[in-house]
């Protein structure tokens, strides 16, 4: 038979065993709760950072593209996706544009550059850019300091003006930089100036499209206020000062008022027949049609 001492030792061991189990469970629960809170904290910070980056890029580098909605999808405490639904306003006609699905984790975020960068259709020396999802054509800007472009510099104004019962957006690239006041004298009142092309990298485009970004802003409302916001956004976008094009633009326009700032081109929208007034104008170096939409009786164009 067991002695009283042996029974007491076994009882003590059982109590110690259950105590260890309870303490272990509590530690695991506290650790899981802490991990959950820490994970959600870092995930939330990454979400906010990615949201801000997507809005910022759209403000300065996406001509005539609007963000209709931007929501978090497939979210966990370790990361998730942000889905950005976008569209274009073509003289009052809302046209679908490619949706972005960007991702984030605790420490990194990844903008969906695969959909941001347009696709290229090549045939001999003919080429054009298109949105990968909607297959709508993307208008091309031509920098006045780049002499040679692969396939030449296009002027689609004559072709656009012959389209019947359509609205269109067209990028107009100038033969030299102009002020907004000088531009407004040249653009007919029945066309909408929806984006000002301010800067882009000067690279070799003669062997094929380099896919360089363009920087600019929507001048609707107050162009001066829009420009001031554009400068603020450029500085935020290039906080590390690594983008040479942005740094050069900021330095060259540091002490200029907006009415003295030179503009490289514009994107305009309107009814296709209204583009005829721009044909054979000397100030236009190139004109590239972008998205178009067929008019319908129940939607009235803006102009």
Q: What is the mean predicted confidence (pLDDT) over 59-68?
A: 97
Nearest to 99 by CA among 39, 48, 58, 45: 58
**Letter string b/e over residues 99-111, b meaning 16 or more CB atoms within 10 A of that residue's CB:** bbebbbeeeebeb
Whole-structure pTM value: 0.86
Collapsed DSSP state (helix, strand, coil) of residue 17: helix
Chain position carrying tokens 């000397």: 282
Confidence at residue 73, expressed as pLDDT on a 0 to 100 scale = 84
**Letter string b/e over residues 73-96, b meaning 16 or more CB atoms within 10 A of that residue's CB:** eebebebbbbebebbbbbbbbebb
- pLDDT one-digit tens code per residue, 80-121: 899 999 999 999 999 999 999 999 887 788 899 999 999 988
- pLDDT one-digit tens code per residue, 122-174: 887 778 999 999 999 999 999 999 999 988 999 999 999 999 999 999 999 99
In sequence order, what E strands does 77-227 have?
79-90, 93-105, 109-110, 119-123, 126-130, 137-138, 166-178, 192-199, 215-217
Q: At 31, list the tokens.
A: 């650790």
Instruction: Give 78's strand partners.
Output: none
Chain position carrying tokens 């300065």: 60
Above 70 in pLDDT, residue 3? Answer: no
Above 80 in pLDDT, residue 301? Answer: yes
**CB distance 272 to 168 below 8 Å:** yes
The pLDDT-based confidence of 218 (bands split at 50, 70, 90) is very high
Domain ranges of the chain: 118-294
Above 80 in pLDDT, residue 21? Answer: no
Q: What is the mean predicted confidence (pLDDT) over 45-59?
A: 91
- The 8-class DSSP code of residue 154 comes to -
Q: How far apart are CA 19 and CA 24, in angstroms?
A: 8
- pLDDT one-digit tens code per residue, 23-49: 777 777 776 666 566 656 666 787 889
**CB distance 284 to 188 below 8 Å:** no
């Amino acid at each position: 038979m067991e002695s009283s001492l042996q029974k007491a030792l076994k009882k003590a061991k059982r109590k110690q065993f259950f105590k260890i189990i309870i303490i272990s469970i509590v530690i695991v629960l506290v650790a899981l709760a802490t991990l959950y809170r820490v994970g959600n904290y870092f995930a939330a910070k990454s979400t906010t950072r990615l949201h801000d980056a997507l809005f910022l890029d759209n403000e300065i580098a996406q001509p005539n593209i609007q963000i209709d909605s931007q929501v978090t999808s497939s979210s966990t405490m370790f990361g998730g996706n942000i889905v950005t639904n976008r569209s274009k306003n073509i003289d009052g006609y809302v046209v679908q544009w490619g949706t972005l699905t960007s991702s984030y984790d605790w420490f990194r975020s990844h903008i969906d550059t695969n959909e941001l960068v347009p696709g290229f259709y090549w045939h001999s020396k003919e080429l054009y850019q298109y949105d990968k999802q909607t297959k709508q054509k993307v208008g091309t800007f031509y920098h006045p300091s780049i002499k040679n472009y692969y396939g030449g510099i296009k002027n689609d104004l004559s072709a656009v003006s012959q389209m019947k019962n359509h609205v269109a957006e067209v990028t107009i690239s100038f033969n030299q930089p102009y002020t907004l006041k000088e531009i407004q004298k040249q653009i007919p009142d029945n066309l909408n100036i929806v984006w000002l092309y301010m800067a882009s990298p000067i690279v070799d485009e003669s062997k094929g499209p380099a896919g360089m970004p363009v920087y600019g802003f929507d001048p609707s409302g107050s162009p001066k206020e829009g420009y001031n916001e554009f400068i603020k956004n450029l500085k935020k976008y290039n906080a590390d000062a690594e983008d040479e094009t942005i740094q050069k633009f900021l330095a060259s326009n540091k002490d200029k008022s907006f009415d003295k700032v030179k503009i490289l081109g514009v994107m305009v929208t309107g009814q296709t027949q209204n583009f005829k007034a721009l044909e054979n104008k000397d100030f236009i170096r190139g004109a590239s049609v972008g998205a178009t939409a067929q008019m319908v009786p129940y939607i009235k164009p803006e102009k």
